[in-house]
Structure 1
Amino acid sequence: MSESGKANDLLAQIPKGEKKGLPPVHLWNPDFCGDIDMRIARDGTWYYLGTPIGRKPMVKLFSTIIRRDGDDYFLITPVEKVGIRVDDAPFVALTLQVEGEGERQVLRFMSNVDDEIVAGEEHPIRVMLDKDTAEPAPYLRVRGNLDALIHRNVFYQMVELAVPRDQDGECWLGVWSSGVFFPIGRLPA
Structure 2
Amino acid sequence: MTQNDKTVDLAENLWKRLRSGKPPTGRHPQICGDIPMSINRDGTWYYQGGPIGRIELVKLFSTVLQRDEEGGHWLVTPAEMARIAVEDAAFVVVEVTRDSDDENSTRAGEDQGHNGIIRMRTNIDQWVELDENHSLRVEENPKTGEPSPYIALDRGLEARLNRASFYQLVEWAEENTAPDSPETTLGVYSHGRFFKIGTVENDER
Contact 1:140 1:150 in 2 (8 A): yes
If each structure's helix is expressed as a fraction of its own residues, which one has the higher value? Answer: 2
Aligned length: 175
Note the C-alpha offset of 1:5.
6.1
Question: What SS class does the counterpart of residue 177 from structure 2 fall into?
Answer: strand
TM-score, length of structure 1 as denominator length: 0.85
Deviations 1:129-150 (A, max 9, x none): 1122111000011113110001
State the one-letter code of the partner of 1:11: K
What's 2:143 paired with?
A: 132
> Hey, what's the Cα distance between the residues in 2 that align with 1:44 and 1:175?
25
Distance across 2 between alignment mates of 1:31 and 1:132: 42
Amino acid corresponding to residue 50 of structure 1 in structure 2: G
Matches within 5 A, 1:56-135: 56-69=55-68, 70-100=70-100, 102-135=113-146
CA RMSD of superposed structures (Å) = 2.1
Report the AA paired with residue 180 of structure 1: R
Q: Which whole-Å CA distance do the structure 2 matches of 1:86 and 1:167 have between them?
A: 38
Q: Does 1:179 align with 2:178?
A: no
Q: Which amino acid aligns with 2:191?
A: S
Which structure 1 residue ranges, 5 or more long, are not aligned?
A: 16-27
The alpha-carbon distance between structure 1 residues 9 and 40, as it changes in their structure 2 partners (threshold 3 A), is closer
Q: Per the alignment, do residues 78 and 179 of structure 1 end up closer, same or farther by CA in structure 2, a change over 3 Å counting? A: same
Q: Which amino acid aligns with 1:68?
A: R
Match of 1:141 among 137, 152, 156: 152
> What is aligned with 1:22?
none
Ranges in structure 2 where 5+ consecutive residues have no aligned partner: 1-6, 21-26, 101-111
Q: What do residues 15-63 of structure 1 show as CA deviations (whole Å, max 9, x unaligned)?
A: 8xxxxxxxxxxxx731211211111011100011111100000000001
2:120 partner letter: F
Cα gap change, 1:47 to 1:180, in 2 (>3 Å): same
- Secondary structure of the residue aligned to 1:166 is coil
* Cα distance per residue 1:102-154 (max 9 Å; x no partner): 21121011111111100010110111111221110000111131100011100
Deviation of residue 179 (structure 1)?
A: 0.9
Q: How far apart are the structure 1 equivalents of 2:73 and 2:42?
A: 17
- Give how far 1:12 is off: 4.3
TM-score (norm. length: structure 2): 0.79
Percent of pairs with identical residues: 40
